[in-house]
Amino acid sequence: MADSSRTHDVVLFGATGFTGGLTADYLARNAPEGCRWALAGRNQAKLEGLRSRLTEVNQACAEMPLLRCDVGEPASLREVAESARVVITTVGPYINYGEPLVAACAEAGTDYTDLTGEPEFVDLMYVRHHARAAETGARLVHACGFDSIPHDLGALYAVEQLPEGVPIELKGFVTAGGKPSAGTFHSAITGFSRVRGMTKVAAQRKEMEPRPPGRTVRGDRSKPYRDSDVGAWALPLPTIDPQVVLRSARALERYGPDFSYGHFAAVKRLPVAVAGVAGVASLFTLAQIPPARDFLLGRMESGEGPSPEEREKGWFKVKFVGKGGGEKVITEVSGGDPGYGETSKMLAEAALCLAHDELPDTAGQVTTAQAMGRPLIERLERRGISFSRL
């Protein structure tokens, strides 16, 4: 699994941003001895400042390589991609800044991870770069944070508790508490404003992407309802997460000959559920109006995010209810602060998994369940994220 032709095992791009800094801190504390990792970004002074802070955590970081890299300079991206086995990027919104690095990694045969939750970006990268990555052997793995690792790997974990070769019906129910960063907020508002583009590129991908022969994989289109298994109102969540789960199901026969998945927010009290729907609808409407969108984007400056004390209070639980072969299982994935503490952990561990673990032979744009599956579940369990059967 070592590759002496590449200078670095892992390169972190965007390390001086909020989530990038948390990911760098996690790697400084948890990257295995001998892992050759580096920081990349466009501001040398900020990179040096970050390296100094990391050295206080781990003295070995004093010699950390710093790579100059800018999304506006393709040559610098190409140089970084060619030097690395795996590249992590936290530079978003990805629809604005992400493609040049994806293209560089696809061309160089370099594995790529990000934490996007932007469906348009993921679909566009499939349309434009999946084929080349499949040729070069690059694994392009999007959504390696709270979007969508707990849901994608949680669905896989639940499926593994059910009999093989039978139709499976699975539902995921999300509850969480935490405060967003400016990057997450900006990505959400940008996504709300691009519905037409998202719909168009999704249709392009659907035309290109093969479907599994002899198997059916479909989304659950349930309307809001009261679910007795979780004791809460189930509100459909139109995030990227169910899309990722369904792609894993199409790629892996373990999900059975007929698989369906529904993805919901679990809300105990009906008034809270109604208020949440109304709030999202209001943001969606305002995002369509340029002056209102600019106002919203100006409410949080780049680099802002929750304090350590606020992150300490964060938590998440994703409960899965699965039925198949006459059996019913309830499983749960749970952890701490979903947006930042656990997202930086998931992103870093996904990259380390790609760099160091024995994994299935995959290439092109792939999901975490497809590319890493059980080895990544085991990594996350060792780091305090729980996968359990209830």
20 with 125, same domain: the answer is yes
111 with 228, same domain: the answer is no
pLDDT at 241: 94
- Torsion sign (Cα): 200, 205, 206, 208: positive
pLDDT at 5: 84
What's 326's domain CATH number? 3.30.360
Question: What is the longest distance spanned by two Cα atoms in the chain?
Answer: 61
Residue 2, domain member (yes or no): no
pLDDT at 270: 66
pLDDT at 278: 59
323 with 196, same domain: the answer is yes
Count how many domains the chain has.
Answer: 2
Q: Which residue type occupies 255? A: Y
pLDDT at 244: 97
- Extract the residue ranges of the chain whose pLDDT is less than 70: 1-4, 178-193, 270-287, 292-293, 295-306
Residue 390, domain member (yes or no): no
**Global pTM value:** 0.92
319 with 201, same domain: the answer is yes
pLDDT at 291: 76
Question: Hey, what are 170's tokens?
Answer: 């699975």
228 with 357, same domain: the answer is no
Give the range of the structural domain holding residue 222, as residue numbers without chain letter.
Answer: 149-336
* Torsion from C-alpha of 318, 322, 328, 333, nearest 10 degrees: -20
How far is residue 368's CA from residue 377's CA, in Å, rounded to a whole number?
A: 10
List Cα–Cα distances, 70 to 154, 214, 365, in angstroms: 35, 45, 23
pLDDT at 145: 93
78 with 168, same domain: the answer is no
Q: Tell me: cis bond preceding 148? Omega within 30 of 0 counts.
A: yes
pLDDT at 299: 67
270 with 315, same domain: the answer is yes
Nearest to 157 by CA among 325, 331, 335, 368: 331
pLDDT at 185: 61
DSSP single-letter state for residue 145: B
How far is residue 310's CA from residue 314's CA, in Å, rounded to a whole number?
A: 7
93 with 48, same domain: the answer is yes
